[in-house]
Amino acid sequence: MINSFIRKLKLAFGDSEIRFRIFFLVGALALFRVLAAIPIPGVDKTALAAFFANNQFFGLLNIFSGGGLSGLSIVMLGVGPYITASIIMQLGTIIFPQVKQAYFEEGEAGRAKFISWSRLLTIPMAVLQGVGFLFLLQSQGVIAHLSSTALIANIAIITAGSLLLMWLGELVTEFGIGNGVSLIILAGILAGLPSSISQTLFAATAADIPAYLGFTVLGLAMIYAVVVVSDAERSIPIAYARAVRGAALSQGAATYLPIRLLQAGVIPIIFALSLLLLPQMVLSMLGAVQVSFAAAAASWYTAFLSNAWNYGAVYFLLVVLFTYFYTAVTFEPHRVAENLQKSGAFVPGVRPGRETEDFIGKVVNRVTLPGACFLGLIAVMPSIIQGLTGVTTLVLGGTALLIAVQVALDLARKIDAQVSKSPSANIKKC
């Protein structure tokens, strides 16, 4: 395995196109980390550190900002607004026929139109999230009270930073290797590891060593489970009808339809985080404009989420529900059954048409349940550990771990595919 890895690494850097893509990826991520180190004006770093230490929920949001939120940098929103806009556009495929037609029926031109709409929607999403965060952080004393001019300037800065990261991510997708948005999130996760590990080691005592060893074993087990479940799928056998060509009767081909266990990926976690964040942001904005009930409601909601068990139970339930929801949006049994029937394919033992649609729908529902429960369990693992042990200095970030492993696996597949297509690899095979 090691020899194979070294050989592929040599092939990758031996091919000029792959080498350019790798260096472009590294340069783009380095630029992102530089931008993440530039804070917006008026930040109280002590209050900011205390705020994130006492709020696990915003620690999770920091993951999707690529680490920019914890430093209130000019890219503090990260790619969150673009992800939110993409999710809204996905929901739009259910509500609006024009969006559905563009996404499913118009081919590459429709996909390009869909992406353009997502980009435009990112702007108001970034403005709304920026306003909500600034009001919330002002109420917590993390940043000083801003005048109207300073507030508008900060909103413009962080909106521009989010749009810049969106553009950078798309450049990485086009000229680099892998999905640029996912890689930006991965870079933020990895960038926070050294400081987290060093803080944990400095705070450790001899009595904590067994707990930390247990966390290490549990972390490795979680990585193994994520790798296995990410590749797990239920295969539905598909056969093609026999074709008569002249006097010859050709045997129909056989293949299978893969139904992945994690069909929705990490999108349900993003859905759940967005929904958990929405009430707090809205209440903070209402409190800033002196709405009477908003301050008390915001305090109650913050206290409710601060309880590890309350937060974990709500988070788990939302992840499971959104897994089913997003799978229903992106995987339509009716469309799959219709395409199979048009291409002369069928599921052995199942009649084409309505019965095939019902059969595929039942399989998807059965497969989605264990995948949704696994996704929810990984997401709330930090809350479970906190509730059982009371240890908060070292918490396994299940969400971060899930994202990191899935993005790393996808990047490895993309690099392997690039190496396989390179001329030097073909020469080696010969």
What tens digit of pLDDT does each residue of 360-392 get? 999 998 999 998 998 888 888 776 766 666 555
CA distance 234 to 368: 10
Contacts of 109 (CB under 8 A, 6+ apart): none
pLDDT at 171: 92
Predicted local distance difference test score (pLDDT) of residue 248: 47
Looking at per-residue confidence, does 373 or 246 come out higher? 373
Report pLDDT digits (tens) over 108-163.
777 777 788 889 999 998 888 888 788 777 777 777 777 888 888 888 998 999 99
- Computed on alpha carbons and rounded to an integer, the radius of gyration of the chain in Å comes to 24
Domain extents for the chain? 18-203, 212-396
User: Which residues in 313-325 are b (16+ Cβ under 10 Å) and which e?
Assistant: ebbbebbbbbbbb
Q: Is the pLDDT of residue 103 over 60?
A: yes
Domain 212-396, second-level architecture: Orthogonal Bundle (1.10)
Question: CA dist 386 to 59, 269, 308, 309, Å?
Answer: 14, 20, 7, 9
- Give the ranges where 15-79 is alpha helix by DSSP (H): 16-36, 45-53, 56-64
Over residues 175-182, the mean pLDDT reads 84
The answer to whether domain 18-203 has CATH 1.10.3370.10 is yes
Q: Is 388 in contact with 211 (CB distance < 8 Å)? A: no
Mean pLDDT of the chain: 77
The pLDDT of residue 244 is: 45
Q: pTM value?
A: 0.75
Is 285:353 a contact under the CB 8 Å cutoff? no
Is there a shared CATH topology between the 18-203 domain and the 212-396 domain?
A: yes
